[in-house]
Amino acid sequence: MHGFKGERVLMRIHIGERDKWKGKPLYQAITQLLRAKHYAGCTVVRAIMGFGASSKVHSDRIEVLSLDLPIVIECVETEENIDAVLPELDQMIGGGLITLERVRVITYRPGEPRDGARA
């Protein structure tokens, strides 16, 4: 388990669902990169609506249905690890947005069954 409490950096990567890297979905490639680097974790979220620099609205609503919904990848890590991966992400991401903000981690541990029984 990581000794992970305290100040860390939250990285958010905003891309499109149809973005690719070497033939696979970009969000999948980024997740695999972060996992291979033994980062503490990451989460990929598909949004129901959004727009970016092009101002084109992407939505799951039937009247404006998009096959390229917004994707947000979130990762909380040390500043050093985030800084180290940014050049690789820059190579992978054609159009998108990466933001960083400081966060305070108060709990980081693997989940356990609520009744105390181990699987």
Quick check: 51 pLDDT over 80?
A: no
- Give residue 58's identity as a one-letter amino acid code: H
Angle at 51 between CA 18 and CA 83, to 5 degrees: 70
The DSSP bridge partners found for residue 13 are 73, 98
pLDDT in tens, 57-75: 767 665 555 667 889 999 9
Q: Domains along the chain?
A: 6-105 (3.30.70.120)
